[in-house]
Amino acid sequence: MLHLRIVSPSERTEQVLAVLREQRGTAHLCLFPQAALDPSGDVIELDVAREAADDVLDAIAADELAQVGAVQLTDGGTVLSERAEKAEWAAPGDPSDAVVWDDLIARTGEEARLSGTFVAFLALACLLAAVGVITDSEVTVVGAMVVGPEFGPLAAVVVGIARRRWELVRQALLALGVGFPVAMVITVGATLLGEALGLISPGSLADNDQVAFVYQVGWASLVVSLLAGAAGMLSLTSAKSAVLVGVFISVTTVPAAGYAAVAATLGAWDRFLASTAQLAVNLTGIVLAASLVLLVRSSRRRAGDGAVPIA
């Protein structure tokens, strides 16, 4: 179950409590009058079945409460309670199928911010890809896939469009639009340094059959990116984060960017164009498939919506 903590202005507390008592999938409702000091108000806590969380947040008008108080949703861990079991049985649907939109927006928003850490991870991933390309090491290229943080902003773009959170979309596009060019420029600089030191030559890309999949774009590239995008969004919306590692290893976004940077530096323009096309196909496929998954899940939620909102 999830644990919901609300800081409510005293004048709204009774209304919030009345709505919470009407919601399915809730248990252990607690009230701590005047427990909050800044902002002042009452503290309300309860456990919520994951599949009921979105309806509960909608019903209490969480966005409005957040402006005058606070709404915090966290993983409740193991809850040993007969009341909790009854609440989970009463909640519509299955926990693994539930989408908690506010939580999804918050998590993708955190992953989509342009920061030094994001750029550093993306640059390191591109550099790893460049090393893998030059040494014809498939294992190193796979390592670059795992290190790359690009799925977070891509997911944020999809979520932002689906929920009309345009600031989230802008933030994610900024991270991608700045992160990839900076990472590729750093990779170009590293390639030039390697060439100056005699570690790399224009013929370094001539015999790299093991990593040819990075620039060989075709129907398989689109299919893999579509499947990976769908799996990634399913992972995010069902809180099965372990699946994301498989998603990272499936797509060749970062390796394609790293290959393009190396190819452009060494004058291999045919490989540059091919790897750039691979990057575009992967980005497009991920966004399209993730959007379709969200569309389907949004439709299912609207069909089964049972919230009782605050008047």
Chain segment 233-285, per-residue pLDDT in tens: 888 887 665 556 656 666 789 999 999 999 999 989 999 999 999 999 999 99
The more confident residue out of 93 and 256 is 256
Distance (Å, rounded) from C-alpha 116 to C-alpha 255? 20
State which amino acid sits at residue 70.
A
Which residues fall within 8 angstroms of residue 192, CB to CB, at 6 or more apart? 265
Domain boundaries, the chain: 2-98, 105-300
User: How many angstroms separate the CA atoms of 149 and 144, rounded?
Assistant: 10
Whether the bond into 39 is cis, omega within 30 of 0? yes
Instruction: State whether residue 232 is helix, strand or coil.
Output: helix
Per-residue pLDDT reduced to its tens digit, 213-238: 888 888 888 998 999 888 888 888 87
Residue 300 confidence class, pLDDT cut points 50, 70, 90:
low
Instruction: Please tell me the CATH code under which domain 2-98 is placed.
Output: 3.30.70
pTM score: 0.79
The residue with tokens 């929920």 is 163
Q: Is the pLDDT of residue 172 over 60?
A: yes
Q: pLDDT, tens digit, for every residue of 121-135?
A: 999 999 999 999 999
What's phi and psi for 71, nearest 5 deg?
A: -135, 120
Instruction: Supply the pLDDT for residue 306.
Output: 45
C-beta separation of 131 from 137 below 8 A: yes
How far is the C-alpha of 87 from the C-alpha of 70, rounded, in Å? Answer: 24
Across all residues in the chain, what is the average pLDDT?
87
Helix (H) or strand (E) segment spanning residue 50: helix 50-59
**pLDDT score at 248:** 65
